[in-house]
Homo-oligomer: A and B are copies of this chain.
Amino acid sequence: MGAVRETLDAVRLVDHHCHGTVAADLGRDAFESLLTEGEAWPGISPFDSPAGVAVRRHCAPLLDLPRHTPAEEYLARRSELGRREVQRRFLRAAGTDVFCVDTGYAPDPLTTPREIAEAAGGTSYEVVRLEGVAESVQTAGVEPDAYADTFRTAALEAVRRPGVVAVKSVAAYRTGFDLDPARPSEVEVTEAARRWFARGGRLDDPVLVRHLLWTAVDLGLPLQLHTGFGDSDIRLHRADPARLTDWLHLTAGTIPVLLLHCWPYQRQAAYLAAVFERVYLDVGLTLHHVGPARAGGVLAEALEITPFRKLLYSSDAYGVAEFFHLGALAFRQGLAELLQGRVDADELSLPDALRIARWTGRDNALRVYRLEADGPEDD
């Protein structure tokens, strides 16, 4: 093992974007459906995918099983140990001590940020999903012309809670990024709120999505943006972050914008990070889906032109604790492969490689979110 990998193994990662795990013991169907961004399908097991292979290879040993354990045995052992022990093992193995947890997506009951942190022996912070705040405002009932103020107040309250360090938007899912970049007028927002309240359902009005993004600017906290792939609800080509360029120009010099996931647009994201001061990226979610075998290839593209202060680590783990471990492992393995290869070819000095390893695994996130590594004030 090279020096870069040793350093990366020793770095306590900051996972700047993740979710809780399902707070229930999982049967085969439930586990499999969490293993994929698709559905579980008749006759095709989600274990027969790069992520499934990676679980059997890299997660089985942590459950005292041999590498490449068959899915049945893996699931049986997982049940035997129980979800708390399983979670503890994977979170300890992740070598992560800071978690920024998006608490706004919970089709299932999930472990809390505090539970994640405790299982990992680390610290957690919270990320507020703005669509959730807006939808709560709508559900609570408000006149259309009061929507903008009420949403803003609710968002301010949400982010002022202790431990909140960022907001997140899933505009990519709701409208994609082909939005008018300008801040909508009060009249436009009221009119759009009227339409939304009459129609109901989730927030997907283009005016209100724009308004949400601009509200994020007003809040002043870093904004995490889903970009690139996800489940079938996304329209992939509309989630290309390059389509945000006009908005990034209008909001330049305000809040940090963190492009999440990005695949297959990691190069487009890298371009934005290279030309806009406050734009950052990660390849979270991607890393555990492609697995450690391919993480180096994806990271090589993500880092082609990205300034080394601009790449962050996230797992985007959701639902199963395995992804905290796999994401961290794929990141460490892929980045070490890339950096060590350049050191060996004398394209990069070892001290530079180690600095890049520490920056991307930890320091960049501490810097962007102004985190104290020992946790939020009230903890």
Q: Could you say which of B48, B294, B342 contacts A309, with CB atoms under 8 Å apart?
A: B48
Question: Which B residues are in CB contact (< 8 Å) with A345?
Answer: 293
Task: Name A57's closest neighbour in chain B (CB-CB).
Answer: B347
A50 touches B304 (CB 8 A): yes
Task: Name A39's closest neighbour in chain B (CB-CB).
Answer: B277
The smallest beta-carbon distance between A310 and chain B, in angstroms, is 8
A294 touches B290 (CB 8 A): no
The smallest beta-carbon distance between A371 and chain B, in angstroms, is 16
A298 touches B307 (CB 8 A): no
- A349 interface hit (Cβ, 8 Å): yes
Question: Which B residues are in CB contact (< 8 Å) with A308?
Answer: 48-49
Segment of A14-22, A109-117, A232-240 engaged in the interface with chain B? A232-240
How many angstroms from the CA of A301 to the CA of B290 in the assembled complex? 10
By CB atoms of chain B within 10 A, which of A67, A289, A349 has the most? A349
Question: Which B residues are in CB contact (< 8 Å) with A68?
Answer: 348-349, 352
Question: Which B residues are in CB contact (< 8 Å) with A53?
Answer: 347-348, 352
B277 touches A41 (CB 8 A): yes
B298 touches A294 (CB 8 A): no
Q: Could you say which of B67, B237, B305 contacts A49, with CB atoms under 8 Å apart?
A: B305
A291 touches B39 (CB 8 A): no
Segment of A74-82, A131-139, A157-165, A260-268 engaged in the interface with chain B? A260-268
By CB atoms of chain B within 10 A, which of A68, A231, A246, A346 has the most? A68
B268 touches A49 (CB 8 A): no
B232 touches A268 (CB 8 A): no
Chain multiplicity (copies):
3
A232 touches B37 (CB 8 A): no
A232 touches B275 (CB 8 A): yes
The smallest beta-carbon distance between A158 and chain B, in angstroms, is 29
Chain A 340-375 residues near chain B, CB threshold 8 A: 342, 345-349, 352
Question: Which B residues are in CB contact (< 8 Å) with A293?
Answer: 342, 345, 347-348
Chain A 306-347 residues near chain B, CB threshold 8 A: 306-310, 342, 345-347
B289 touches A294 (CB 8 A): no
Question: Which B residues are in CB contact (< 8 Å) with A232?
Answer: 245, 248-249, 275-276
The smallest beta-carbon distance between A58 and chain B, in angstroms, is 9
- A119 interface hit (Cβ, 8 Å): no
The smallest beta-carbon distance between A172 and chain B, in angstroms, is 13
How many angstroms from the CA of A38 to the CA of B277 in the assembled complex? 8
A-B contact pairs, 21 of them (CB 8 A): A36-B275, A36-B307, A37-B274, A38-B276, A48-B309, A49-B274, A50-B306, A51-B305, A67-B346, A67-B349, A232-B276, A234-B245, A235-B242, A236-B245, A237-B242, A237-B243, A237-B268, A264-B268, A264-B271, A293-B342, A297-B300
Question: Which B residues are in CB contact (< 8 Å) with A37?
Answer: 274-275, 305
